[in-house]
Structure 1
Amino acid sequence: MVTTENRTQISTYSTPNVSTVVVLGLAAITASASPVVSLDHSASVTPPTMLDLFEYQMNRKFVVLQEKINQFGLLKRDWNGYDAAPIPSTALDDAKLFLQSLRSSNIDLNGWEVFPTARETIQFEKTVCENYIEIEVYSNGRFAYYSEGRENLEIESISIKEAMEKISGVFG
């Protein structure tokens, strides 16, 4: 360890093309040609709470799901080997809106998966214990909802608001 300017250098590593600055508790990671992680002894320590860790995990899952949706926009005709058409941009936009609605409604994003379908839709699904929910996002603003578990019902076409109410009723 090397001490300079009231900071204790914990480790040094090189990462090309990194321009991010991250601060976690007392550790500060600064970006440069050779980022340095240092410990500032003058700062007070506030350990992360379970809520902090949950929010971090939720943000991470949100980014992963959003990136998957973005990747679906790159699919070309025959992406599944059975002549499936590309996913329309309106379905992609509505899927991102639905994902944002899940996040803003504090619905746990862990366990949610997202897939493109050959019907030019995006399908979200989640299973917790005996509860399974599937939401299919169409390009015309429609959402299809299917649930198994405490409820056995199928709804052909619902709004995003109705979908959020159904999801909150099962997982909220």
Structure 2
Amino acid sequence: MPTTAVDNPLTLRLLGLLVEQPMHQYALAVALNERYPYLNAKSGSVYALVRSLQTAGWVTRTGVEQVGNRPTRTVYALTDQGWRVFRERVRRQLREARVTTSAFVDALAYLGALDRAEAPHVLRERLESLEERISELERAGGPGVKEITMIEVDFVLHQLHSEADWIRALITRIEDGELAWPAAEGRA
């Protein structure tokens, strides 16, 4: 859990969208959900985070926009400080962020605690979830979106495809009896 609003995981993505072009808060929320549908970012969270980023001096108001009968909306852009913070966060996270999640790896370490017949079923459920996420990400972006602005989606897709392939192979190994399984003795 972030200790301050600017430590929110959405911060880097919001700043990144503002690198591309100044936007009002509602447009930021829409862009986040179009580009990263799995985040399910709420408008209220985006509005609060933009206010926090403004308080931190990372974004500033650049004007207002009104389309038709819609209410006027304040447009925000990165400040020079926001640009520096954004670039430093990109550097730091590229160097230091963990790619794997420990929860899955921890559970995988104890796969043998399941019955041999149950394990493929559980793994197939994960595989279905992975395939749904792959499908969702393959629809992200859209025409006219430059690859470099979605490069992280390509990376995640490669990871998910690799994980799905590995899980398919693991299921086959379990079902074919190729993978040694612990004896059921002493388990209830």
Q: Does TM, normalized by the shorter one, top 0.5? A: no
The structure that is helix-richer by fraction is: 2
The structure that is strand-richer by fraction is: 1
Structure with more relative contact order (C-alpha pairs < 8 Å, separation 6 or more): 2
